[in-house]
Structure formats: C-alpha cells, structure tokens
Amino acid sequence: MTQLTFPEGFLWGTATASYQIEGAADEDGRGPSIWDTFSQTPGKTWRGQTGRVACDHYHRTEEDVALMASLGLDTYRFSVAWPRIQPDGTGPVNPAGIDYYDRLVDLLVEAGIKPMPTLYHWDLPQSFEDRGGWPERETAERFGDYAAIVADRLADRVHTWWTLNEPWCSAFLGYGDGHHAPGRTEPVAALKAAHHLNLAHGLATQALRAAGAERVSIALNPTQPRGDEEAVRIVDTLANRVFFDPILKGEYPAELFERTAVHTDWSFVQDGDLEQINQRIDLLGVNYYNPAWFRYNPDAPESQVQPGSAGVEGYRPEELPVTDMGWPIEPTGLTDLLVRIHKDYGVPTMVTENGAAYPTGPGEDGEVDDVERVDYLRSHIAAVHDAIEEGADVRGYTAWSLMDNFEWAFGYDKRFGIVHVDYATQKRTLKSSAKFYAKVIADHGVER
C-alpha cells in the first residue's frame, strides 16, 4: 500500500441538496417547487415517494452540522431552496427562508466548516413552471435577482458559490426524457432550457460578484464518453460542450447547431447572451459517478434524452462491476475527465460530487459496514490524485452524500450516504465509509 498525499489547501467536503434532505416542505412560508408537484404525480417516483419529510434536516440542522464536524470536514456543499427565499419565485423575500440559511451558514462557520451553497439544485418554484419553466427566458432573468438576494445576506461568510447543479439534468432529464421534474418530453424545450440555464448561470455570476462573492462556480456533470471517435465527439458536443463552451469560451460549437437543426434554429439565443454567459469563474465543479459508452451507428434513432443524437447508441461493457444504481464502476473515468478539462479549458476544478449507492443497513451489532462504498471512495479519491499527478489543478473532493436521502425519481430506495438514515426514527449512524472518509481527511490522503 502506498500513501497518496494531497496538495496543501486541498479541501475535503460532503454534499447534499435542499429537496433531498430538508423536509419541512410547507413550513415557514416555503412555496411549492416542481419537485413537490412531480413527486406527487402518480407514477413519477418510486412508490410515489416525495421529499416532504426526507431527512427532516430542516429541524435537525444543529445535530447534522455537529455530525459533519465530527468527520473533520473542511467544506459542506448544500443547496438553497429558491421556494424558501421567494415562495412564488419573484417578489419579496420570505424572511424565515433566508434566516434559515443564514443560521446554517453561521453554524458551519462556528464548526470550522467552509460553507459552499448551490443556488439551484432542481427545486424550481412551481410558479415559473406554470409560466413555462426553464424554456422561458424570464426564469433565467429572475434567477439573477434571486442570486442577488441570497448573496446580499450570505456572501460575507461563503467560501465558494455554485450557481447551478447539473444543468444537463435540469434541461435533458426535466424537458427531454421527462425522468425528472417537470417531466416534459419536448426536444425544443430541452434545448431552450439548456440555453436559459447557461444564461441564468451568467446572470447569477454577475449578481454574486456585485454582492462581493469571493469564489463563483457551477457544478456540471460532464459525461465521460468512451467508445469510437465519432460517437464520442458527438456526445461530447451535445452533452458537455453545450455547457463548457458558452461558459468557458463564450460560444456554442457549430456542430451543436448542425445536429439539432431538425428541431430548432436556436433563434432564442439573443445578441449579447454569450457575453452574459461567459463570465470569469474561479473553478469548475465536476460531478462524476461513471463513464458512459457509445458507438456510431447511422441507423440509431435519436435518444429522447439528448436531442441531436441520431446515429449514436449507448452500450454497456459487460465485465464492469456496478453499484446499486446499475452504474458501472470505473475510477479512471474521473482521472480522464479532470485531465481533459485541464487541457482543453485550463480551468481549476473541484470534484463537487462523487459516490455510490449501496443498500447496506445496520447489522445485528448496529454497525453499517458498507465495504463496497469504502472501496468506491478509495479508488475514486486515488483517481483524483492521479489527475493531479498528470497536471490537473484540482482544488478539492466532495463526497455525495453526507447522508442517505431522497434520490429523486428513485425515492428512498437508493442510499448514497456515508451516514445511514433510519427514515422511521431519523436516527443517523456513521457507516464504515464515514469513518474511512474521516481518516482520509485526517491523513490528508488515501492509501492505495
């Protein structure tokens, strides 16, 4: 075994998202979000489960911050629920909503944990969807106002801001294949949503800077495509460069327009939008779980999730082990992705999510011995170290997730936490992976 030590200043964190953990869905003036509506629609989530109670984190914030402190975390990435701040998405601030996050930030700072809020982790106020949602420009414009409100209150204590979490999912799962809220299946709406999410990021970045934010970023979930060259280039263009290029270079790739021309002429991109989107960011957040494999086949139909993808088909190499999500385990994908972003875009990165679902619960002795998750974390943390050795400027690693939580369409069926949650009693139990991660943090490295 060799000990891999990380550079000084490299940060160790965990992540969560508001709708996945908070519960308290109707409390203190919170308005409904698209995830409330979607999860209450029959057939959309596993056993019709919702985030109404989730981990009840809203009422257990102090206890949960103490848990984080016990692990020795440097940072905590959480999300702010827009419908708590502006219950119908626009208009006056709900004081109880902003007070809640103000207190959370104070608790974190007192515990020596650097707060890293994400402004949007998918809980769009329902009133926007009633007016058309992310395919409408107004949603992006109002997101800039909301960013200013939150930053005005929290910017003095926040370490790093993430404008959006995984806009690919918001656009293509939300409006493409409908697997996520709001559950629409309209290719043009998905492409418009992608552009307006980019615009929202740019407007929010400017608002955050104006309010004195120190570090601003966005957390993307780039696909790490593998397979033949043609298929890889197409998937990279449609799924990755649709965000990378406008945000980091101020342009959309020509091939994106060509491949999606059957759906739209992109006339919703207005003059000046690309300048608004292409704001300086301090680093790029990378969420990574697994690579994906593709091959070129001229007869393959367009996949519903990715407009413009005709001619590309996905496949799965048989031999790889998978997690409880059925996601293949391939740590070198994380190394390749971080190195590629470094080479092509020259921007520092931080792993903003990485982790694995396994169902392991308490044994007879009460211990939760999730050995597979320990292996997953160990190999992926080592993969980050490999990327740094290859020259990538990686600033930190964030495990998904601090605790088991509402896994979107999969409800409570899939457990990603390093802390086990008994949903009947809300008891938290450190899994072996949490103890392992605490040691990684204490050692500032991992053994391989």
The residues annotated with a catalytic role in the active site are: 166, 353
Q: How far is the CB of 399 from ligand FCB (least distance, A)?
A: 11
Whole-angstrom distance, CA of residue 203 vs CA of residue 142: 9
Closer to ligand FCB by Cβ: residue 86 or 170 = 170
Q: Is 10 in the site for ligand FCB (CB under 6 A)?
A: no
d(CA 289, CA 17): 17
The sign of the torsion formed by the CA atoms of 237, 207, 128, 35 equals: positive
CA 175 to CA 136: how far, in whole Å?
12
Nearer to ligand FCB, 52 or 439 (CB): 52
Closest CA to 174 of 249, 254, 215, 120: 120
Regarding 408 and contact with ligand FCB (CB under 6 A), the answer is: yes
Which residues sit opposite 226 in a β-bridge? 293
Structure tokens at 167: 């806009």
Positions 409 through 428 that interact with ligand FCB (CB under 6 A) = 416
* Range 291-330, binding ligand FCB (CB under 6 A): none
Count of H-run helices and E-run strands, the chain: 16, 15
Residue of 13, 90, 25, 81 lying closest to 55 (CA atoms): 25
Helical (H) or strand (E) element with 332: helix 332-345
Residue 297's DSSP bridge partners are none
Non-local CB neighbours of 192 within 8 Å, separated by 6+ positions: 134, 135, 136, 264, 268
Check binding of 407 to ligand FCB (CB under 6 A): yes
Site size for ligand FCB, by CB under 6 A?
Answer: 12
Question: From the list 6, 10, 11, 17, which residue makes contact with ligand FCB (rule: CB under 6 A)?
Answer: 17
Residue 221 touching ligand FCB (CB under 6 A): yes
User: Between 269 and 418, whose beta carbon lies closer to ligand FCB?
Assistant: 418
Considering the complex, state which of residue 259 and residue 414 has its C-beta at the smaller distance from ligand FCB. 414
Residues in region 376-405 near ligand FCB by CB under 6 A: 400
Nearer to ligand FCB, 176 or 445 (CB): 176
Q: How far is the CB of 337 from ligand FCB (least distance, A)?
A: 15
Host H or E run for residue 293: strand 292-296
Closer CB to ligand FCB, residue 221 or residue 278?
Answer: 221
| Interface residue with ligand FCB, options 64, 123, 166, 404 (CB under 6 A) | 166
* Rounded Cα gap, residues 445 and 436, in angstroms: 11
288 part of the interface to ligand FCB, by CB under 6 A: no
- Of 353, 370, 372, 404, the residue at the interface with ligand FCB (CB under 6 A) is 353
* Helix, strand or coil, per DSSP, at residue 400: strand
Cβ at position 301, least distance to ligand FCB in Å: 25
- Smallest gap from Cβ 219 to ligand FCB, in A, equals 8
CB of 409 to ligand FCB, least distance (A): 9
Q: In whole angstroms, how close is the CB of 133 to ligand FCB at the nearest point?
A: 19
Q: Quote the least distance from Cβ 318 to ligand FCB, whole Å.
A: 24
What residue has token string 């990538």? 392
**Secondary structure (DSSP) of 28-52:** TTPPPBHHHHHHTSTTSSGGG--SS
- Measured CA to CA, the distance from residue 370 to residue 377 in angstroms comes to 11
Q: Per-residue string for binding with ligand FCB, 126-165, x by CB under 6 A?
A: ---------------------------------------x
Comparison of 19 and 244: residue with beta carbon closer to ligand FCB: 19
Which of residues 109 and 325 has its CB atom nearest to ligand FCB in the complex? Answer: 325
Smallest separation, CB 164 to ligand FCB (Å): 10
Beta bridge partners of 421: 428
The DSSP string of 74-125 is: SEEEEE--HHHHSTTSSSS--HHHHHHHHHHHHHHHHTT-EEEEEEESS--B
Residues binding ligand FCB (CB under 6 A): 17, 20, 165-166, 169, 221, 287, 353, 400, 407-408, 416
